[in-house]
Amino acid sequence: MATIHPVVLCGGSGTRLWPLSRKSYPKQFVPLVGKQTLFQACAERMRGPEDAPFAAPIVLTNSDFRFIVTEQLAEVGIDPGTVLIEPEGRNTAPAVLAAALHLNASDPDAIMLVAPSDHVIPDSKAFFAAVAEGARVAADQKDLVTFGITPDRPETGYGYLQLQASPDGTGKAQPLGRFVEKPDLDTAKKMLADGSYLWNSGIFLFAVRDILAAFQAHAPDLMAPVRAAVEQARADLGFLRLDPAAWAEVADISIDYAVMEKAKNLSVVPYSAGWSDLGSWSAVQELSNPDEEGVATSGEVTAIDCHNVLLRSEAGNQELVAMGLDNMIAVAMPDAVLVASMDKAQDVKQAVTALKAKGAKQAEELPVDHRPWGWFESLAIGDRFQVKRIHVHPGAALSLQSHHHRSEHWIVVEGTAKVTIDDEVKLVTENESVYIPVGAVHRMENPGKVPMVLIEVQTGTYLGEDDIIRYEDVYARK
């Protein structure tokens, strides 16, 4: 089998899994099932089998997530190949085309395996076998290959692939008849009974030269701006930033609409060894090892006389108690709580829309704000003060900065901080504190090998995160 070049799509906001998944930190970076995040599990799967390992992954993400991507890959011991930064989200077609053009510069015959980063595929051996079958078809027939999931229920949340004949159970690739949009329930029941329909997984495999030819034939308007965005991309701290001006001219369109629904050289590899896109809380419940009563729990939870429920407490000091619930979802975050009927699992994104309409920051922002150097969370906020907990990774440093409207008081509670205040540099250890006046140029660093945690008390007339003047920044943020 030729070397497979994984392309991991790592954008999206995951609004159907609110409040745990939000625009500021979507579901692919969250440990929804198991200890690993969905992105980490995807990256490990994309290493390939031991006897035929895949090439280093190409990851497409946006600027806000670039350091999260590299941090989570480092946690599982994976060195990424190229991390392409999209200036704006433009859906899957431009992302796939950018990856293909990037690979084309070095190997036009390379085989690309394109996969979203937020799927659950528990049987790696079966997955590798399906990929090998797809690679065979892509090499021998020059086909564009998609992977269809054998349905086990009349699902209305997925698009479908209709084969020209029902799968024969061998796992061999078959010609695609047509793409089918998400059906209503009656149609989904008929499609399930028919036997020739598979769920569209959104996973694709093809040779670089073949997908480029398909884009040229079916979506030629995308070629020039995406090519310009790739050719004019600039390196930035190990990332490759696609050119913003060229990317702004790119249409927002999925690869299904742009290419796949128009191409004639399409094959489908049926897959029946277990798959989920975790597109709803009901899907999470199914994969969270529910007990004999259908009760699935995570965190500090007590369930009394409950049936078919998902109960999650996402704060260590928060106890979630449920009594007499049936067919319900309850997800408790420090700043927001979702309580919904399991029947409404596909409609949770409506809650996000309603929260955005009323201007609630909980619609898109988590209480924990992730940064390249670590993270912080607000513990208390008043009219003229704010208290934060700040976690700084070993060896990491905040920018050299100042503020117009606030002073800060730092108390180190774990580790050691290296603190710069104007011309003075000193070490501050546990149970020691330091004061930063308004306007002072300052920085904190963690010179140690363990995380450094401090409590920050801000006081002033304006406490917003945009009151930062940066003079130096190792992460090249403006």
Mean pLDDT of 420-425: 96
Does position 378 have pLDDT exceeding 80, yes or no? yes
Residue 195 counted as domain residue: yes
Residue 278 counted as domain residue: no
**Same domain? 245 vs 334:** no
**Same domain? 254 vs 122:** yes
Using one digit for the tens of pLDDT, what is the confidence trace for 163-183? 988 888 888 999 999 999 999
Q: How confident is the model at residue 288 (pLDDT cuts 50, 70, 90)?
A: very high
Residue 281 counted as domain residue: no
Does position 306 have pLDDT exceeding 70, yes or no? yes
Please say whether the beta carbons of 4 and 48 come within 8 A: yes
Please say whether the beta carbons of 19 and 338 come within 8 A: yes
Higher-pLDDT residue of 310 and 64 is 310
Q: How many domains does the chain have?
A: 3
Q: What is the CA radius of gyration of the chain?
A: 24
**Same domain? 72 vs 213:** yes
Q: What is the model's pLDDT at position 478? A: 66
Mapping DSSP to helix (H, G, I), strand (E, B) and coil, where does residue 147 land? strand
Q: Which are the contacts of 106, defined by CB distance < 8 A and separation ≥ 6?
A: none
Q: Which of 236, 271, 306 is the last residue before a domain boundary?
A: 271
**Same domain? 248 vs 336:** no
Does position 275 have pLDDT exceeding 80, yes or no? yes
- Say if residue 183 is preceded by a cis peptide, omega within 30 of 0: no
Q: What is the model's pLDDT at position 168? A: 81
Cα(26)–Cα(8) distance, integer angstroms: 15
**Same domain? 164 vs 267:** yes
Q: What is the model's pLDDT at position 81? A: 82
Q: What is the model's pLDDT at position 342? A: 96
Q: Which of 281, 311, 345 is the last residue before a domain boundary?
A: 345
Does position 383 have pLDDT exceeding 80, yes or no? yes
* Mode of pairing for the β-strands spanning 326-332 and 337-341: antiparallel
Using one digit for the tens of pLDDT, what is the confidence trace for 338-372? 999 999 998 999 999 999 999 999 999 998 999 99
Residue 106 counted as domain residue: yes
Cα(47)–Cα(50) distance, integer angstroms: 8
**Same domain? 249 vs 398:** no
Does position 475 have pLDDT exceeding 90, yes or no? no
Q: Show the tokens assigned to 397.
A: 């440093």
* Mode of pairing for the β-strands spanning 239-241 and 160-163: unpaired
User: Which residue, 358, 322, 317, is CA-closest to 338?
Assistant: 322
Residue 276 counted as domain residue: no
Distances (CA, A) of 161 to 44, 104, 141, 271: 27, 29, 20, 12
* Mode of pairing for the β-strands spanning 111-116 and 174-180: unpaired
Residue 359 counted as domain residue: no
* Crossing angle of the two packed helices 220-231 and 208-218, in degrees rounded to 10: 130
Residue 468 counted as domain residue: yes
Q: Which are the contacts of 466, defined by CB distance < 8 A and separation ≥ 6?
A: none
Sheet holding 295-298, edge to edge: 295-298, 307-313, 326-332, 337-341
**Same domain? 117 vs 255:** yes
Q: Show the tokens assigned to 184.
A: 């209503």
Mapping DSSP to helix (H, G, I), strand (E, B) and coil, where does residue 202 land? strand
Mean pLDDT of 433-437: 97
Mean pLDDT of 57-85: 92
**Same domain? 95 vs 203:** yes
User: Which residue, 186, 221, 230, 214, is CA-closest to 87?
Assistant: 230
- Look up residue 58 and give its amino acid: I
Sheet holding 368-371, edge to edge: 368-371, 374-381, 385-392, 452-460, 406-414, 433-436
Does position 1 have pLDDT exceeding 70, yes or no? no
**Same domain? 330 vs 373:** no
Residue 11 counted as domain residue: yes
Distances (CA, A) of 427 to 279, 370, 396, 430, 474: 47, 24, 15, 10, 20
H-helix or E-strand containing 231? helix 220-231
Using one digit for the tens of pLDDT, what is the confidence trace for 81-98? 899 999 999 999 999 999
Q: Which are the contacts of 120, defined by CB distance < 8 A and separation ≥ 6?
A: 33, 38, 41, 274, 275, 276, 277, 278, 287
Contacts within 8 Å (CB) and 24+ apart, 351-358 = 351/18, 352/15, 352/18
Mean pLDDT of 415-420: 97
CA-based diameter of the chain, in Å? Answer: 75
Q: What is the CATH number of the domain that holds 31?
A: 3.90.550.10
Higher-pLDDT residue of 12 and 426 is 426
Q: What is the model's pLDDT at position 315? A: 85
Q: What is the model's pLDDT at position 12? A: 75
Give the residue numbers spanning the domain of 33: 4-271
**Same domain? 401 vs 374:** yes
Q: What is the model's pLDDT at position 53? A: 87
**Same domain? 340 vs 256:** no
Higher-pLDDT residue of 167 and 418 is 418
For 290, phi and psi rounded to 5 degrees? -60, 150
H-helix or E-strand containing 354? helix 349-357
Cα(292)–Cα(308) distance, integer angstroms: 9
| DSSP string across 69-111 | HHHHHHHTT---SEEEEESS---HHHHHHHHHHHHHTT-TTPE
Q: Show the tokens assigned to 268.
A: 């489908």
- Look up residue 438 and give its amino acid: V
Using one digit for the tens of pLDDT, what is the confidence trace for 148-166? 999 999 988 899 999 988 8
Does position 2 have pLDDT exceeding 80, yes or no? no
**Same domain? 232 vs 89:** yes
